[in-house]
Amino acid sequence: MLARTAENLFWMARHIERAENTARMLDVAHRSSLLPLDIDGAEAFLWFAPLNITGCASIYEQKYGGLAKAGTVTRFMALDPENPASIYTCLHLARENARAVRGAITSEMWEVINGTWLELNRLSRQMGDDDFPEFFDWVKDRSHLFRGVTLGTIVKDIALSFLKLGTFLERADNTARMLDVKYHILLPSINDVGGAADYYQWGSLLKSVSAFEAYRKIYRDAISPLRVAELLVLSDYMPRSLHSCLNEVEAALIDINGVSGREVRRKAGELHASLHFSRIEDVFSLGLHEYLTQFLEHIDLLGYGIRDAYMSRREMVAEPSASTPLAFAQ
Amino acid sequence: MSTKPKINFFNELNTESGGVREIYQRYSEWLGTLPDGKLERKSAEAEILFRRLGITFAVYGEASDAERLIPFDIVPRIFGAAEWRRLEEGIKQRVRALNAFLHDIYHDQEIIKSGIIAADQVLNNAMYRPEMQGIDLPNQVYAHISGIDLVRVAENDFYVLEDNLRTPSGVSYMLENRRTMMRLFPELFANHAVEPVEHYPQMLLKTLRESAHPGVSNPVIVVLTPGAYNSAYFEHAFLASQMGVELVEGQDLFVHQKKVYMHTTEGPQQVDVIYRRVDDDFLDPLAFRPDSILGVPGLFEAYRSGNVALANGVGTGVADDKSTYLYVPDMIRFYLGETPILSNVPTWQLSKPDDCKYVLEHLPELVVKEVQGSGGYGMLVGPTSSQAEIDAYRLRILDDPSNFIAQPTLALSTCPTLVESGVAPRHVDLRPFVLSGKEIRLVPGGLTRVAIREGSLVVNSSQGGGTKDTWVLED
């Protein structure tokens, strides 16, 4: 496969996943804001989280000042073309990447991405403040549709593997960030396990990664921070947990194979093994925040490793001769 | 008020006595059975289909709405089997002669030696590439993909408007138009025996495989595009995916020891045939325009060395130039010893003082074009232009007469077309796509372009023209 095609596929999938995650995050913030909040500045506190998680707090502050308000944050994160992490920007970039590899994806996949982009432009012109919850559902639906169409139509070759790499690397990154930020916010209530506010707050985190039902099913118990973390980090039942994501990333790298991927496969294997064999008590003894920070660094390194192994342009420097066979494809 | 010259147009639907021509009979009956508003609804449906598929093109110089749809007209243009056979023969003959001409002028130049074309006409042509002199190409083919633009002026009279031998585009519309028609009107295809065109990409792939240098047993083929912002990008991606080959940009290729490679996820892979949709000038910054970022440094050297085949070959522009066009009937006689089946449009060359004088005196009746222009940009259509437009154009001609040619305003035939007032006649032309490998092939049909505006004779998409599905009926 063309190195550039691999790069476009990877980023196309990554941006769609990112759009979905942003929609999930904003949806949860919306739900949480409906709960009674009795502390001063609670609104700013609550709405700062999405900015913090996606790392675009400083752009927001430049544009709107420091105070995070429900309406402005929502629009900024959903529809602002100047925000590199907005849903709008992500879906735009997904489409641009898809356009660059139209020959490598199925026409059904292209139609979903292109249709999403056209619909987004129509929706964004007429969106009232009340329309956002419905919009977030729409974004999630389009992402689900894209994944379904992909699995239902694409040939199972390395194109699919690069799409999976993009999807699951982004998902791992996002789940880790959500857990990290939310955990900080929720930490004051750690002594209040079982309280009503606690139930809603932790519940909303679980819902944002579609893990609420899974939690009930697996633990059949009150929501506790330790178990939430265990479910989102170590469980491989949960499709959005770090462990599940790394399962997929490692499998995709093994499918892609190739000499140049040796080092990145090793890195992914190492990270996967650490999730596979860790206990949640060990994670907490290091400190969840420290653990997640390290995890995010590893995810970054994996991303760079994938780029270097498969997406860079490696010209032949040495003179080819009979005794030194080059790594030609085919 | 000047009186506009009155022209008689051939109507492809009706006979002169007002009846329906036989080949349109069945379609016409079917049309009569449609309830009111049905065609309009289907037309709207077609537009949604095209937009969702992203079959768009960019108009140069238009910032807003950069991706535009070419209007698709849902009334097909129909040819009978017999009239198509004659056309097909004429088109193949013409392409065979053009390739023979290109081989000749880049080798022995017999046509110049025999005095049929002046050396100056060829060798001082801006599109002539001296670097190509003496290079042998597989099958002696230069123009692997040609688009021959035809207009019909009478039942049995077709004129060749121009030969497109560089990177002719539009074939994806031919294919998508058919697909859309079959989706919208399956019943029409059930009661008409329409010759299929869907195998064009397979024919193209076959042609490209045949065009590899001898000794390459299983050639690696790619489509080279200038990139996603090119006006015909959709078509490049479409053809690559239909053929199952990689769509590459210049940055994906490199040359090592006069061989061309592409960057893949598993390292470099050698490329044997490049269907390039990048103009000569931009192919290789080392050989041609040094500021080109679309090309591949060293590509031309690899090509000269016979390590990679390019389709189309380099230097074909000298044969589809509007001033060389005049000599194509002579080429057919000279190289093939045959009588030309298709006619040229009578043409005045403004480089000749007598012609120039005549043209300047008759501007309101004529069509004037730049010798190297394309796409309908920078042309004057006398009968539909205002006095001010004609005067402005006159100044441009006087500035450099040799840069222009003129032709009579052609009586382009009309086809029934869906417009706001219903189904009405509009002017059309036809571009069939001709493939040259070990043999010459074309699918029955082509791209029919239609001038949507009433009375307009300009069918170019950049000038608001639309397209139609083109049917060739089986015997």
Segment B234-270, tens digit of pLDDT: 899 999 989 999 999 999 999 999 999 999 998 899 9
Q: Is the model's pLDDT at A322 over the cut of 50?
A: no
Closest residue to A316, CB basis, from B54, B237, B268: B268
pLDDT of residue A314: 66
pLDDT digits (tens, 9 = 90+) for B138-163: 999 999 999 999 999 988 899 999 99
Q: Chain-wide mean pLDDT for chain B? A: 90
Report the alpha-carbon distance of residue B151 to residue B125 in Å, rounded. 27
Query: Does the beta-carbon distance from A110 to B54 stay under 8 Å?
Result: yes
- For residue B65, the model assigns a pLDDT of 46
ipTM, two decimals, is 0.77
Most confident of A47-61, B66-80, B312-326: B312-326
Q: Count Cβ atoms within 10 A of the Cβ of residue B291 and give its class: 0-12 exposed, 13-18 middle, 19 or more buried.
A: exposed
Burial state string for B298-315 with b = 16 or more CB within 10 A and e = fewer than 16: bbbbbbbeebbbbbbbbb
Tell me the sheet residues that pair with B423.
Answer: B418
Choose between A309 and A186: higher pLDDT. Answer: A309
**Which tops the pLDDT comparison, A168 or B459?**
A168
| Residue whose C-alpha is closest to residue A50's, from A80, A34, A30 | A30
B231, B66 in Cβ contact below 8 A? no
Q: Where does the pLDDT of residue A68 fall: very low under 50, low under 70, confident under 90, or very high at 90 and above?
A: confident
Per DSSP, what are the bridge partners of residue B315? Answer: none
Structural domains present in chain B: 214-307 (3.40.50.11290), 346-409 (3.30.1490.270)
- Kindly report the nearest CA distance between residue A19 and chain B, in angstroms: 21
Which residue shows structure tokens 């609670």?
A: A42
For B271, nearest residue in chain A (alpha carbons): A329
The shortest C-alpha distance from B221 to chain A (Å) reads: 13
Asked if residue A321 has pLDDT above 60, the reply is no
- Any CB–CB contact under 8 A between A308 and chain B? no
Binning pLDDT at 50, 70 and 90, where does residue B322 land?
Answer: confident
Q: What region does A239 belong to: left with phi over 0, alpha with psi -120 to 50, or beta?
A: alpha
The beta-carbon neighbor of A330 closest among B223, B263, B269 is B269
Assess whether pLDDT exceeds 70 at residue A48: yes
- A320, pLDDT greater than 70: no
Whether the pLDDT of residue B197 is over 60: the answer is yes
Neighbours of A263 (CB within 10 A): 11
Q: What mean pLDDT comes out for the span B175-179?
A: 94
Whether B263 sits inside 8 A of A99 (CB atoms) is no
Please state the pTM of the whole predicted model. 0.83
pLDDT in tens, B25-62: 999 999 999 998 999 999 999 988 888 777 766 555 44
Please state, in angstroms and as integers, the Cα–Cα distance from residue B341 to each residue in B90, B126, B148, B284, B447, following that order. Answer: 5, 29, 14, 38, 21
**CB neighbour class for B134 (10 Å; exposed up to 12, middle 13-18, buried from 19):** exposed
Q: How many residues does chain A have?
A: 330
Q: Can you tell me the distance from the alpha carbon of A146 to that of A246, in angstroms, rounded to the nearest whole number?
A: 21
pLDDT at A14 over 90: yes
A93-97, A191-195, B228-232, B360-364, range with the lowest pLDDT:
A191-195
Mean pLDDT of A186-192: 52
